[in-house]
Amino acid sequence: MRAPRLLAALLLACAAFGARAAVSVVDDAGRRVTVQQPARRVISMAPHATELLFAAGGGRQVVGVMNYSDYPEAAKTLPLVGSNSVIDMERVLALKPDLIVVWHTGNTARQIAQIESLGVPVFHSEPRRLAQVADNVERLGRLLDTEPAAAKTAAALRARLAALEARYARRAPVTVFYQIWDQPLYTLNDAQIASDAIRVCGGRNVFGGLKVVAPEVGIEAVLAADPEAIMAGKRYDPANPGLRLWEPYKSMTAVKRGNLLTVDGELLTRPGPRAIDGAARLCEAFEAVRQRRPK
């Protein structure tokens, strides 16, 4: 009798192990992603996804990345699988991934279709709110079997975000125009994570209600909105005017009060863990804007 019982126990143990091995999470596209065992060879199709994977404790499991994956430092040494315009599918196959992380906003529909045709589990990462960054870290940690490290990172991110909201969210509102490009003039609506940072800091995006994520707007529309502050990233092309575009409009509130703000656009618009850093810097900039109000 002992042998059959031992065999039954072993079979139950194997079944239990198999049940634990498969892990499922729901991604930002609302789709269930299942890995039969912890992902050990992961490809990141977006810079922010690379940061999320490292933050979740899975840096050693990342075997390929998309261009501009420049943080953390270790990401710069990883093999490139393409850019936001072209993916090297042969390189992707050669790396034998067991999980691929894509970004709907940054990867084209054709690219995502190509990736999904491989039959490899695909996680869609699309944080549009700062709070969703920590959620992404936790879910990726489950797929990578790095949950302790992911949970620690997620808890720290949530604590920092809560502190920012407690300090700034109810401060006197600052109306803001976020200029992400100047020729032509583009901004972001409230569906982008940078606008959530604006909200957390007690600001209001004057074009947040537009339907397009990155709409083109006219100078006249900005003048009509008359924001208290205008913010833009650093100019990569010195030939472009950047914030100097607004200097002739002396009657604008933002110009009159000296509220033309240079921000780190990479931190604010890349929906990864460092977005909290970007929000903290933005909150400080908004405090300076409030200090410049007429007494």
Read off the CATH number of the domain in which 182 is found. 3.40.50.1980
Q: Would you call 193 helix, strand, or coil by DSSP?
A: helix
CA distance linking residue 106 with residue 37, whole number of Å: 28
Distances (CA, A) of 202 to 180, 259, 284, 290: 20, 16, 11, 11
101 and 70 inside one domain: yes
pLDDT of residue 208: 97
Contacts of 183 (CB under 8 A, 6+ apart): 240, 241
pLDDT in tens, 186-203: 999 999 999 999 999 999
Q: Model pTM?
A: 0.89
pLDDT band (50, 70, 90) for residue 169: confident
257 and 187 inside one domain: yes
Q: Which residues pair with 170 in a beta bridge?
A: none
What is the DSSP pairing of strand 185-186 with strand 181-182?
antiparallel
pLDDT at 46 over 80: yes
CA distance linking residue 166 with residue 169, whole number of Å: 6
Which of 124, 157, 190 lies at the terminal end of a domain, its last residue? Answer: 157
Which of 157, 182, 211 lies at the terminal end of a domain, its last residue? Answer: 157
Residue 4 counted as domain residue: no
pLDDT band (50, 70, 90) for residue 18: very low
| Domains identified in the chain, total number | 2
pLDDT of residue 261: 97
Percent of the chain exceeding pLDDT 70 equals 92
pLDDT of residue 280: 97
Q: Would you call 93 helix, strand, or coil by DSSP?
A: helix
201 and 116 inside one domain: no
pLDDT of residue 108: 84
215 and 130 inside one domain: no
Residue 164 counted as domain residue: no
35 and 93 inside one domain: yes
79 and 177 inside one domain: no
Residue 247 counted as domain residue: yes
Q: How far is CA 280 from the centre of its chain?
A: 16
CA distance linking residue 170 with residue 161, whole number of Å: 14
Residue 11 counted as domain residue: no
pLDDT at 146 over 50: yes
186 and 281 inside one domain: yes
127 and 244 inside one domain: no
C-beta of residue 268 within 8 angstroms of C-beta of residue 46:
no
pLDDT of residue 8: 59
Instruction: Report the half-sphere exposure of 230 (CA within 13 A, side-chain side).
Output: 27
Give me the domain span that covers residue 88.
19-157
| Helix, strand, coil share of the chain (percent; to 5) | 45, 15, 40
